[in-house]
Structure 1
């Protein structure tokens, strides 16, 4: 990683963080769902459990309590409305006849709670762990009663205990045939949070503990290469999403040998001048650098005690802001596959801007570093 030479001032960082909270809360749908991006053609009208969970965690950390709570209410509603489907999935798995991927829960829903009718890479399990982790973290942070989301958490635990080991699409909706380490650790985060919060008990808590322990063991045995977390089981590569397992998820201790080696591996392989790529063979929009991943790596560095490295990632992300004050999904700097960018622009138009997930991760890191405080950036900021 080459050090940044033009630091962004603290006031500018704080202003962007505050405006990011305002942008996110202003775009939240009355249902509680967060749009992934309000204008990007492929994302418009949809909310993801994974993206939304990180968005909710970001604004929760900045004091936007009601906004985050309403998103978790929406998640619970999506699950309760599909209770019978979850029961069918769980019973089929227990009988040794698991349902096909197209009968699993989807990764995204419309703002009103419908499932999309267009083709999408839909079977992803990480979001069902991530929202549980985020809801528990939110309740712990603000002294809320986790019972508000108990039904949704219980249904998520049932679903994840039955499906956690299945191959599925990764965060980037690719490589359906693999079992992805980031996915497993998002599931672990959710299951362990559910047990810690006492949102589940009895046999359900035992099932959550057992699935989380088994997933951790699988990662240890097959998801580590040369001392660091790997992209998927048996892979030697890394993925930018692995930083999240260290922080904010906290599944891997940042100061442990595995945590330190994983931070170093992501930095060495994917970070260029503070901007982080998704993975080394990325071709989406030419394979640019993602502000949200830079902020996630920054959070991992902060958890490891390296504030200068964390601040450098926050500053890099701030430098990607548009004149309108929007953070994009990615920027076309240091493209890995520049020859592939035009095909995506032709297919879907320009890069998603703003991407609410980018804004949320910027806020989360800004709060972690003390650039803003919840009192100064909370509800209605």
Structure 2
């Protein structure tokens, strides 16, 4: 990793337009935020329309919080708190089953996405995913600390999320991409770790002990050739793995450096980052949010030039209205599979609010975001 240095003048050129895109990203997110506080994943995409994910929303809220819009981010956390408090009885049943040594079916677990009023939704989905619950804990704690807010505002939902993760953290489940329910995914464990570490000073639950168990488990089974792996038992990497470094702090030092190097080597092409080499979703394009995630990590590690490279690549993917898509098809890994997804779900989601939220995070990290009063 490089020592921190000022980016070359050519990287700073056009910074005003990058700031304008940050302002536009904020406006797009606010325009589409539901009156109840939920951030829809994408307002027009057929498979996402009408649903909110804790995963997407937590990062979107972080971007909005960094931008300085305390009210919008707090309304999202209010929504998540209401949704989780409404699942108190379900989580109590799961905790009781775990205490009896039972293994409830995946279908008994909390969902990964919710309608704006907090319901499960009527159509089937790949629902057993634990990452979003850890992400929300990290996001709400970070937001409260940044703006001097009282976490007690969200205590009910926090307690539900912590109890749920303590009970089910070590079960295989779907990953960030809603695939491979049979595996234990390192990025999922990283998100749980980050949430439990963040909330541990504010809870009597064994959050710190579970976080320590996650670190031990990943050290034993989730590292190959010095870097983190996509799941236990593989050598492959995933574009989500940098989150295990920043912001979730699962690994540091040489493992962190090797992970960022492996992700860049295997998945970064000209500043745009793929999910994983075998990705066939819409042909396996480059994802805006993953480019921002890697850029964020590079900025924190001191590679400011590298972070600016990713920010500028992202900005180049915006359409004439400033909308950022989920992914772009400039460098498809499996182009033959793209048409089948278009036929199934239509064109790629745009705008994707998670993409805009991640752009705000990286723009803030590089110091170009206008801070709202």
TM-score by length of 2: 0.95
Cross-structure match for 1:357: 354
User: C-alpha distance in 2, partners of 1:210/1:102?
Assistant: 27
Cross-structure match for 2:122: 117
User: C-alpha distance in 2, partners of 1:251/1:233?
Assistant: 15
User: C-alpha distance in 2, partners of 1:374/1:212?
Assistant: 33
- Are positions 1:171 and 2:176 aligned together? yes
Structure 1: runs of 5+ lacking an equivalent:
1-5
Deviations 1:114-140 (A, max 9, x none): 111211111100000000000000011
Cross-structure match for 2:46: 41
Deviations 1:123-181 (A, max 9, x none): 10000000000000001111111111111111111100010000000000001100000
- Are positions 1:231 and 2:227 aligned together? no
Question: 309, 326, 331: which is aligned to 1:329?
Answer: 326
Higher mean C-alpha displacement, 265-274 vs 17-26: 17-26
| Count of equivalent residues | 364
**C-alpha displacement at 1:222, in angstroms?**
0.6
Question: 98, 103, 106: which is aligned to 1:101?
Answer: 106
Question: 18, 21, 35: which is aligned to 2:23?
Answer: 18
Decide whether the 8 Å contact of 1:86 with 1:159 is kept in 2: yes
Deviations 1:41-82 (A, max 9, x none): 000000000100000001001101111111111111111111
Question: 270, 273, 277: which is aligned to 1:276?
Answer: 273
Cross-structure match for 2:297: 300
Cross-structure match for 1:241: 240
Decide whether the 8 Å contact of 1:248 with 1:296 is kept in 2: no
What CA RMSD, in Å, does the superposition of the two structures yield over aligned residues? 1.3
User: C-alpha distance in 1, partners of 2:330/2:217?
Assistant: 36
Question: 59, 62, 67: which is aligned to 2:64?
Answer: 59
Structure 2: runs of 5+ lacking an equivalent:
1-9
Q: Secondary structure at the match of 2:133?
A: helix
User: C-alpha distance in 2, partners of 1:19/1:34?
Assistant: 16
Question: 72, 81, 86: which is aligned to 2:86?
Answer: 81
TM-score by length of 1: 0.94
Cross-structure match for 2:337: 340
User: C-alpha distance in 1, partners of 2:336/2:52?
Assistant: 30
**C-alpha displacement at 1:193, in angstroms?**
0.8
User: C-alpha distance in 2, partners of 1:27/1:250?
Assistant: 31
User: C-alpha distance in 2, partners of 1:221/1:67?
Assistant: 41
Q: Any residues of structure 2 matched to 1:249-288 within 5 Å, and which? A: 249-253=248-252, 256-288=253-285
Cross-structure match for 2:214: 215
Higher mean C-alpha displacement, 148-157 vs 39-48: 148-157
User: C-alpha distance in 2, partners of 1:35/1:133?
Assistant: 20
Decide whether the 8 Å contact of 2:174 with 2:181 is kept in 1: yes
User: C-alpha distance in 2, partners of 1:245/1:144?
Assistant: 26
Q: Secondary structure at the match of 2:296?
A: helix
